[in-house]
């Protein structure tokens, strides 16, 4: 698999990378590159997205463009799902994170849960799309944005999805995200 290093994932590049077709490992190093990669992956999603994160990283996931792609995916078909495992959603809730708003609005398609205790200290973060694309940060703590993105890596995406599914099965609903009806 070719590795492209030190290539900024700028706004012009996403059209060159096709979900399910482009098999290149692209190295990322900034919040902006991570955000652009997440937006590009989400814009091409057809079936579902899984996100494993410490705090719903505002710099990556809290922007209008990402929000629009997630909303479009969630309402596209009743079987499409966006599942999010977040270790601590407190900061995201305080800041009015777009994924919190979407989960409160689209309750049958967007789900936010807390991982089981065994995964509470996991420092990685990832997003998988349609079982083939992925954005992966091995060490996501302390604003470390060293990451990789690949639009066609089914074996790695499915390995991360397997981990995600096992954690999801033992996760609990994030009570802080629950929408209160008054």
**pTM score over 0.85:** yes
Query: Half-sphere exposure of residue 25, counting CA atoms within 13 Å on the CB side?
Result: 13
Torsion angle, alpha carbons of 34, 39, 45, 49, to 10: 50
Structural domain spans, the chain:
17-173
Question: For the segment 24-66, what is each residue's pLDDT rounded down to a tens digit?
Answer: 999 999 999 999 999 999 999 999 999 999 999 999 999 999 9
Q: What percent of the chain has pLDDT over 70?
A: 90
pLDDT of residue 179: 59
Tokens standing for 40? 């590009």
Distance of CA 166 to the CA centre of its chain: 17
**Predicted confidence band of residue 159 (pLDDT cuts 50, 70, 90):** very high
Q: Superfamily for 17-173?
A: Endonuclease Chain A (3.30.870.10)
Residues 5-11: contacts with CB under 8 Å, at least 24 apart:
8/33, 9/33, 9/36, 9/37, 9/40, 9/149, 10/36, 11/36
Strands 147-150 and 81-86: unpaired
């Amino acid at each position: 698999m070719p590795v492209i290093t030190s290539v900024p994932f700028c706004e012009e590049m996403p059209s060159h990378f096709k979900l399910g077709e482009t098999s290149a490992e692209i190295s990322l190093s900034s919040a902006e590159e991570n955000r652009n990669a997440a937006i590009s992956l989400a814009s091409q999603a057809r079936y579902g997205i899984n996100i494993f994160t410490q705090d719903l990283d505002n710099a990556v996931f809290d922007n209008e463009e990402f929000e629009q792609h997630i909303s479009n995916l969630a309402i596209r078909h009743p079987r499409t799902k966006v599942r999010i495992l977040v270790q601590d959603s407190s900061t995201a809730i305080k800041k009015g994170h777009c994924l919190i708003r979407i989960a409160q609005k689209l309750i049958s398609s967007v789900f936010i849960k807390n991982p089981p205790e065994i995964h509470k200290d996991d420092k990685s973060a990832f997003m998988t799309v349609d079982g083939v694309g992925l954005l992966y940060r091995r060490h996501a703590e302390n604003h470390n944005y060293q990451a990789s993105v690949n639009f066609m890596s089914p074996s790695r995406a499915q390995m991360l999805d397997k981990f995600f599914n096992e954690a999801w099965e033992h996760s609990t609903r994030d009570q802080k995200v629950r929408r209160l009806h008054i």
